[in-house]
Amino acid sequence: MPLGRGPQPLAARSRPACKTRALQTATSAFLELDDDSGKARFPGTGANGSAPSDANLAVGPNHIVQIVNTEFAVYNKNGTIFAGYPKAIGPLFTNLGGSCTGQWGDPIVQYDKAADRWLISQLGNFSAPFTECIAVSQTNDPTGFYNLYSYNFDPNFNDYPKFGVWPTATNSAYTATYNLFLNGGALCRFGALRV
């Protein structure tokens, strides 16, 4: 899925100053709005100057949620963005207060098929105390209300989180791995989250 505004006319593009064998010298047709089988393609949320973009996407039965650095957007399955999106991630965590309401990045979005819920997370901050902010939707609607959680990792910076859904017989558990800078890596299981 292309990110940003999509292709620009050739006159508006700037050419790189360096020579590379990967440089395209021939033009091709612009991206189509749908593929040959009629499935929608659409531009996603841009990185807003952040690098790396930390782009992440999850697909549920009726929605597509994309999260990039400090924003997230909700689309229907035809690629139409919902009104009011993209939105900043920090305000999603307003009721937690503290550093979770900031725009810290390393965001993750997951769809939990077994519970029919959405999980959104972001770093809590870049300086101590280090936290992870997690939101689990209260229904299958990613534009609705979320149960909110904050986990303390102090004194370790919990960088580069990766989440997964681990369905069990009675309830889904969410797992995460982190690069913990003072003590190496960690595997965490968040089984007590309310879904």
Q: What is the pLDDT of residue 138?
A: 95
Residues of the chain with pLDDT under 50: 1-24, 28-32, 192, 195
User: What are 91-106's pLDDT values in tens digits?
Assistant: 999 999 888 888 888 9
User: 10: how many CB neighbours lie within 10 A of its CB?
Assistant: 8
Q: What is the pLDDT of residue 26?
A: 52
pTM beyond cutoff 0.85: no
Q: Tell me whether strands 117-123 and 146-152 are parallel, antiparallel or unpaired.
A: unpaired
Longest dimension (CA), the chain: 58
Phi, psi (deg, nearest 5) at residue 168: -120, 180
Alpha helices by DSSP H, 35-176 = none
Q: What is the pLDDT of residue 51?
A: 74
Distance of CA 162 to the CA centre of its chain: 11
